[in-house]
Every structure is written in C-alpha cells, then in structure tokens.
Amino acid sequence: MLMRAQVKWALGLGGGVAVVLVAATVALAQWAGSDGFRARAQQAASQALGVPVQLGRIEIAFWPSLAVALRDVRIQTRPPLMLEQIDATPVWLSLLAGRPALDALVVRNAVLPQQGIVAMAAGLQKQGPANAPKGEDAMANVPRRIELDHVTWVDASGQKLTVDAQVAFAGELLPRSARIEVVGGRYAGARARLDRGDEAWQLRADIGGGTVVGPLRLDPQRGGGWRLGGDLATDRVEVAALTAPSRSLTGKLEARTTLQAEFKDPAALVDVLRTQTRFTVRQAVLHGIDLAQAARTLGISRSGQTVLDTLTGQVATHGRAVQLSNLVASSGSMSATGQVALAPDRSLNGKVQVSLAGGALGVPLQVGGSLDAPSATPTGVSLPGSQAASDLGGRIGNGLKGLFGK
C-alpha cells in the first residue's frame, strides 16, 4: 500500500510540474508575442545597430528545439534592409550558464541593398569601439552556423544576386567552411565552397563551365585591420559568365591571378582590392566592334564582331578601375596589339594597332564607348585626298562668311 501511495504521489507531482511547465511555456510565448515585448525588442535592436529597426512579430518555438523567430524585419536604412524571417536557435547549456550563445542563425527571403549595408555599417561605427563586444563576449555573438535561404544582394548599380549559403564556425570569428550557391540574378548557377586549412582557405568555384581554384589568406594587422591575399587559377571559364550581364567578350578563359587588400571595414573591400592577372582567352569573340572592318575602311566601328583564335594579355584592377595591357589578339586574317582602360563608370579608353593579312603597316585605332557599346576609330591616318577636301571646305566657308558680311 505504501509503495502504491508513493507512486501516486510521484505521478501527481510529475503531472503537476508538467502542467506548470506547459503553463509557463504558453505564458512565455504569449509574452514574447505581445506588443510591449516587441516594442522593447525594436528599441534594443535600434540602439545596437544605430538605425531604426521595425519588427513585424516575434514568435518562440519549443519543438523540436528552442528557437526565436523574428518576422517581417525592416532595418530602416536608405534604402531599407528587408528580411522576411530570422530564426535564432540558442545553445541550451549557455542559457543554463547565464551566458547565452547562438547555435544557429537562419535568414530567409531577405533583400539587402549595398547602400543600406554601408549605411548600417556607418551607424555601427558611430556606436564607438568602446561599445563593441570583445574577447569571449564577441565570440558569444557568433553563431556556430549561419544559413542564408534566398538572400538577395543588390549592388550599387541595381544588379541583383540571390544566394543560398551555409557557413560553419569553429569557436572563432572567422569561418571554418562555407558553401554558396547562386540561385538567381548575376552568376546564376555558380557554386563555390571554402574550406579552412592550416594556413589558408582553399577556394573552389564552379562557374561558366569551368573552375576557379586556389588559396585565400586573411591575416589580422596591427590597429585592428586585416590583410587579404590569394592566388587563383582559372580554367576554361566562359568569360561572359564573369562579366554578366555584359557580353562584350565571349570565349574560354585561362588565367592566373594574385590579389591583395588591406582594410578595416569589410564594406570597403571592393574599393581597396588590387589584382594582377595574366590571361588567355581561346575562341574569343569581341561583340559590338569589328576591328578588321575599322582598319580596312579607316572608318568608325560601333557594330559587328571580331572573331579571334586567341586573346592574351594582362589585367590590373584597383577597386572598380580596370587596366588591360600587353593585349595580343590573333586570327587567320588579322592581328592586333594594344591596351585599354575600363573606368568605374564602364567607359572604355585605349588604343590598339591592327594589322590585316597582306597589309604592310598596322592601323592605329582609338577604342572608346562603353563596355556594353564599344567603338573603334582610326587615329593618325589621313585618307587619300582628305587634305584637298579640307581646303575646299575652307574656301566654301570663307565664301559664306563674305556673303553674310561676317
């Protein structure tokens, strides 16, 4: 009888505890979804980021694991950052220890304009380095895993890039591995993976029917900055896949690239990155310009195409500016050499020397226009009879001036 009574008491106590836990869970979920809690969360997020943050609603799930979901998040930069859902899963033991840490962070269906990211970075800088978490506190803010589900990046020119990605960390601020797949926009279909080794990350990207592989190194510098370096090998990549949406040059690219950059703000990386590349493009086609026709007729070319067996040269970049030098193009009926500069606004400026089969001298051409609408114009060449035509034009002009008394 005593044993049965103890069992009943134990069952009753366990049932009572279960009821209390269920009631507390329901109360916690309702409290998290209340307008008051959402308002306090908005205020805390706004103070942390330095820009206003709007939250649609907050939900807490307890099965299959504890998770907090933020829905319809709008970070009110100009333009705004919009995130349909953010799921955060904490580490249970960290909660019991009183030092909350994230196990996973998932961002779903977000649109992140580049200008908005830059504006948010500026807001964070205004908070001052004294307020930035350091040491173990900084590590507590880094999830063990970050997942991006259809996150769209919009660059300064309005071009979109939508990716799915998974990034894993190993108790450090820098990732252990990353997997990225471009599912929409520029470079759609490209995939890349990054795995950390003893001294560098090994990159492998599959794009345009070929590969880009090689080591990348990121080392801390004095004063809190970083130094990025790398050596990449490109093998049989369709050029147009790298320059999308532009298709001014097509062909299979083989290249060797060294890159380096020193920076403190990751948002400034694009502007400070320097690269040096030696390349060969096989079965190359220049679209929108016919170099042979321009040289043959000594006339301007703004259409057509130039078919080449090979195009070789060097490319140097600094930020968004590109310089192509030591260009050598060859085909069965034509050869050309020269150099061309590509400005950040995509305008072209350069000179090429074109020699046709059977021609004694090369014809110099001025390259201009834009990356999407290039042009080539003969320079330093006088057409037969052009001086006589110029003299006749001058006499007609003087006669007209005398006729009107001016």
> How crowded is residue 255: how many other Cβ atoms within 10 Å of its Cβ?
19
For residue 213, give the DSSP letter.
Answer: E
At position 60, the amino acid (one-letter code) is I
Backbone angles phi, psi at 114, to 5 degrees: -60, -40
Tell me the pLDDT band of 349, cut-offs 50, 70 and 90.
very high
Q: Tokens at residue 100, please?
A: 């909350």
Tell me the pLDDT band of 322, cut-offs 50, 70 and 90.
very high
Q: What is the pLDDT of residue 323?
A: 95
Residue 143's Cβ-count burial label (10 Å; 0-12, 13-18, 19+) is buried
State the Cα–Cα distance between residues 361 and 295, nearest whole angstrom. 11
Contacts of 109 (CB under 8 A, 6+ apart): 83, 84, 85, 149, 150, 151
Residue 354's Cβ-count burial label (10 Å; 0-12, 13-18, 19+) is buried
At position 52, the amino acid (one-letter code) is P
Question: CA of 19: how far to CAs of 13, 16, 22, 23, 177, in Å?
Answer: 10, 5, 5, 6, 43
Q: Tokens at residue 88, please?
A: 């955060």
Q: What is the pLDDT of residues 127-165, one digit of tens each?
A: 655 455 554 555 556 788 999 999 999 988 888 999 999
Segments making up each domain of the chain, as ranges:
28-196
The count of C-alpha atoms lying within 13 angstroms of the C-alpha of 136, restricted to the half-sphere facing its C-beta, is 3
Q: What is the pLDDT of residue 156?
A: 81
23 or 287, higher pLDDT: 287
Q: What is the pLDDT of residue 223?
A: 80
With CA atoms as reference, report the closest residue to 316 among 327, 329, 330.
327
329 or 2, higher pLDDT: 329
Contact 244, 269 (CB under 8 A): no
**For residue 246, pLDDT beyond 50:** yes
Degrees, nearest 5: CA angle 187-193-197: 145
Q: What is the pLDDT of residues 358-373, one digit of tens each?
A: 665 688 999 999 988 8
At position 144, the amino acid (one-letter code) is R
The count of C-alpha atoms lying within 13 angstroms of the C-alpha of 43, restricted to the half-sphere facing its C-beta, is 6
**For residue 268, pLDDT beyond 50:** yes
Q: What is the pLDDT of residue 92?
A: 67
20 or 311, higher pLDDT: 311
Contact 261, 274 (CB under 8 A): yes
Contact 240, 249 (CB under 8 A): yes
Q: What is the pLDDT of residues 63-100, one digit of tens each?
A: 777 788 889 999 999 899 999 999 988 876 666 566 76
At position 92, the amino acid (one-letter code) is W
Q: What is the pLDDT of residue 128?
A: 58
With CA atoms as reference, report the closest residue to 278 among 229, 251, 305, 315.
315
232 or 5, higher pLDDT: 232
Tell me the pLDDT band of 170, cut-offs 50, 70 and 90.
confident
**Residue ranges of the alpha helices (H) in 244-338?**
269-272, 291-297
Q: What is the pLDDT of residue 35?
A: 72
What's the farthest any 2 CA atoms get from each other in the chain?
A: 134
Q: What is the pLDDT of residue 237?
A: 97
State the Cα–Cα distance between residues 270 and 242, nearest whole angstrom. 16
With CA atoms as reference, report the closest residue to 240 among 214, 208, 271.
208
Degrees, nearest 5: CA angle 129-134-139: 135
Look-up of token digits 């803010």: 141
Residue 221's Cβ-count burial label (10 Å; 0-12, 13-18, 19+) is exposed
Using only C-alpha atoms, what is the Rg of the chain? 31
Question: CA of 341: how far to CAs of 102, 242, 253, in Å?
Answer: 47, 18, 19
What mean pLDDT is reported for the chain?
81
Look-up of token digits 């996150």: 151
